[in-house]
Amino acid sequence: MSSFFEHLQHIDRRWIYLVLAAVLIVSLIIGKPETPIVLDTVQHLYDAVDAAPAGPGDGKLILLETTFAANTLGESGLQTRAIVRHMMLSHKRFAVMAVDQQGAKLGPAIVNELAPYYGYEYGKDWISFGLQLGVTPFYKSFPKDIVGTVKTDSINHKPLGEYPIMRGINTIKEIPLLLEITASASVFLWLQLVQPATTPRLQIGYGCTGVMAAEAYPYLDSGQMVGMAPGLKGAADYEKMVDALEAKAVASKEIEKPYDPKTSSLSGMGQSARQLMFTQNNAHLVVIVFIILGNIGMLLARRRTRRAPKEDANG
Amino acid sequence: MVNDAGSRPEPARQENETFWAITLLGLLALFVIAGAVINHYVTVDNKKYAELFTQWKVLLGVIATLGIFSILYKENPTYRFLEHIFIGLAVGFGVVATWVEILWPRWFIPMLPANMVKATDFHGVSEGQWWLFFALPIALLFYSVYFPRLAWMNRLLISTIIGYYAGYELAGFIGLLGPQITKSFKPPVTTYAPEGAATGANNFQFLGVYWHPFAIIFLVVLVCTLAFFIFSVEHRRRWISQPAIAGRYFIMITLGAIFGTTVMGRFSLVISRFQFLIEAVKDWWHLIFK
């Protein structure tokens, strides 16, 4: 028995990859949606979006920054989708921008996929500021003069002033909430250059990749960020709350049918975050099982090597 | 590439690599030509070719994904080839995107006179800013590094950029960490109930005062972790060495949490790729059998 566990310590890593791949494929095919326990940070983010005064009569809009590339669609893309669905269900007006070339295309692409479901109209309910240069002059001039800094939208290349959504939107005071969905350090420029200069302080909600989550907690504790959706888990938590909101909207016939992620043409976004969380959980379980087996093997091997000299000494 | 002596390349291996490089490049060229031909026939009315072109793109994605995953089995020429293609594409995309998204609309178009700007898709852009042209010779000073006699010009730009970032970082530091420093003053015991705080494990009354245990934990972790980084005092005496040891454990717990979330993040990325493969197979199954 012990030789079996000892063997597990020296197992070819390719077998581990094969087992993981099999688990991932089977889990993805099953595609069971998880019902996760919502993290406090995600709940705070959801509440901040809910409370933001960006409705049609408020004269303000939420700024959604989608600074990520195609390689993190599995995290950032799903967060963006959940948040945009929430904003559309709660009739918030918003602008999308990015400081990354791919993000400037992907953000509006996600919104465009969702807009027909919720009856959102470009220029009236949402607008795309497109790619902005993530450099100091932008962060200095944008808060003072949004229309003058961005000038034209990225879809029709028309002056921002021509769109109804931009009426009365001049400075950062008309942006009650910034939602920063990012796979890079772009949020720090807002924290460094814009937030300290705004009164009242600009509220920043954060959607980051799993890798970046642990380092963001000090910013939540200090109140610099109002909430955070970390990685796929954050997206799944947020989606759970949005699904509940959507079920109410369907029941009250506000919208025809719930959003179906299968209709998404974006790579890796054909399932909901909650379904993907099921796959993620199974993958974590496999890793945990391998770690436990490896450790049992190590302990048994250690016990055997300790016993061996005693047996030799006893003859 | 080199033999055991580390001096000369092995001819047989080099030949093998050249063969694979040429073969894979040839296959890729054929594949790209096929895609270009299909794309040529794609029109708004021609759904058949549009679907074919979509499937061509998916097939390319599947081949690239499986090729990159092949490194998990062992090092192979397909992986190396695709890795180089990926880096090349990323650089190419970056160059084109910089021109299309940044230099064209923000530098070149604003330099044009008003009548020429009107002829473009960019309406409402400021025009006639001819002085923006001088950004080009200034930026080209970076390349003076290749001419020893003129290399000093390169330093002018670099020193300006370093000076700019030094000032910027100093101002940014206060904006970024200032609120965290002020928030780190958390009183563990107060004579009053904090405004808006609910009664619970972190806020209860005992001996006539309000206790906040999380603030005590926070202070202990903060002080111990800072103690670990105090190198101006030798860690020989207990008052500094013991908190520093505890601080080391706290840092290790933090790094463990970061590693955990990193694993989670990496799994999300691989799940996204697997999902793409499964969706592609499902589509093909549907196309062939239904």
Q: Is residue B2 part of a domain?
A: no
From B94, B111, B128, give the residue that closes a domain: B128
Q: Which of B153, B183, B213 is the last residue of a domain?
A: B183
Q: Is residue B3 part of a domain?
A: no
pLDDT at A313: 61
For domain A34-271, give the fold.
Rossmann fold (3.40.50)
Q: Are residues B20 and B118 in the same domain?
A: yes
For residue A28, give the nearest of A305, A314, A261, A265 by alpha carbon. A261
Last residue of a domain, one of B116, B150, B183: B183
> Looking at the structure, do residues B38 and B48 belong to the same domain, yes or no?
yes
Task: Provide φ and ψ at B4, rounded to 5°.
Answer: -60, -30
- In this structure, which long-range contacts are made by residues A146-151, counting pairs with CB atoms below 8 Å and at least 24 apart in sequence? A146/A170, A146/A171, A146/A172, A146/A174, A146/A175, A150/A97, A151/B124, A151/B125, A151/B126
Per-domain residue ranges of chain A: 2-27+278-314, 34-271
Domain shared by B79 and B142, yes or no = no
Q: What pLDDT is stored for residue A310 in this prediction?
A: 64
Residue of A nearest to B69 (CA): A17
Which A-chain residues 175-234 have CB contacts (< 8 A) with chain B? 188, 191-193, 195-197, 209-215, 218-219, 221-224, 230-233
Alpha helices in chain A (DSSP H): 2-9, 13-30, 40-51, 78-89, 101-118, 136-141, 146-150, 187-189, 210-221, 231-251, 273-314
What is the Rg, in whole angstroms, of the alpha carbon atoms belonging to chain A? 24
Per-position b or e across B189-216, b if 16+ CB within 10 A of its CB: eeeeeeeeeeeeeebeeeeeebbbeebe
Residue B61 lies in a domain: yes
Give dist(CA A143, CA A140) in Å, integer. 7
Per-residue pLDDT 10s for chain B (290 aa) are 444 444 555 677 777 777 877 887 788 888 888 877 777 776 655 777 777 888 888 888 899 999 999 999 988 888 988 899 889 988 998 888 888 878 888 888 889 888 887 777 776 667 788 999 999 999 999 999 999 999 999 999 999 999 988 888 887 888 888 889 998 888 888 888 877 777 777 788 888 888 888 899 999 999 999 999 998 888 888 999 999 999 999 999 999 999 988 888 899 989 989 999 998 998 888 888 86
Residue of B72, B254, B275 lying closest to A28 (CB–CB): B275
| Smallest Cα distance from A283 to chain B, Å | 8
DSSP conformation class of B28: H
B22 and B70 share one domain: yes
The verdict on residue B6 lying in a domain is no
Test A136 with B168 for CB contact under 8 angstroms: yes
Q: Verify that B22 and B103 share a domain, yes or no.
A: yes
Most A-contacting residue of B71, B202, B268 (CB-CB within 10 A), to test interface: B268
Q: Using CB atoms, which residue from B254, B267, B276 is nearest to A280?
A: B267
Contact: B175, A191; criterion CB under 8 Å: yes
Residue A266: predicted pLDDT: 84
Chain A: closest CA distance from residue B9 (Å): 30
User: Is B125 at the interface with chain A, CB within 8 A?
Assistant: yes
- How far does the CA of residue A145 sit from the closest CA of chain B (Å)? 15
- On whether residue B1 sits in a domain, the answer given is no
Let me know how long chain B is.
290
Q: Which of B123, B173, B271 has its CB closest to that of A152?
A: B123
- Alpha carbon distances (Å) from B128 to A215, A229, B137: 46, 45, 19
Nearest chain B residue to A162 by CA distance is B124
Beta bridge partners of A95: A63, A127
* Cα distance between residue A87 and residue A66, in whole Å: 15
Within an 8 Å CB–CB cutoff, is residue A101 touching chain B?
A: yes
Task: Tell if the CB–CB gap between B178 and A196 is shorter than 8 Å.
Answer: yes
Same domain, yes or no: B32 and B121 = yes
Residue type, position B141, single letter? L
Residues B176 and B197 both lie in one domain: no
- Please tell me the distance in Å from B207's CA to the nearest CA on chain A: 28
Q: Whole domain around residue B92: which residue ranges?
A: 11-128
Mutate to test the interface with A, among B89, B222, B263, B267 (most CBs of A within 10 A): B267
Query: For A266, which residue in chain B has the nearest alpha carbon?
Result: B276
Kindly report the nearest CA distance between residue B278 and chain A, in angstroms. 8
**pLDDT value, residue B223:** 94
Predicted local distance difference test score (pLDDT) of residue A57: 87
Mean pLDDT of chain A: 91
**Domains identified in chain B, total number:** 3
Chain B: nearest CA to A29, how far in angstroms? 8
Q: Establish, for the pair of chains A and B, how many residue pairs have beta carbons separated by less than 8 Å.
A: 145
CA B39, chain centre distance (Å)? 31
Chain-chain contact of B180 with A152 (C-beta, under 8 angstroms): no
- Which position has the token pair 């229309």? A147
pTM over 0.80: yes
Taking 50 as the pLDDT cut, the residues of chain A under it are none
A287 Cβ under 8 Å from any chain B Cβ: yes
Structure confidence at residue B1 (pLDDT) = 42
**Are B71 and B94 found together in one domain?**
yes
Residues B215 and B225 both lie in one domain: yes
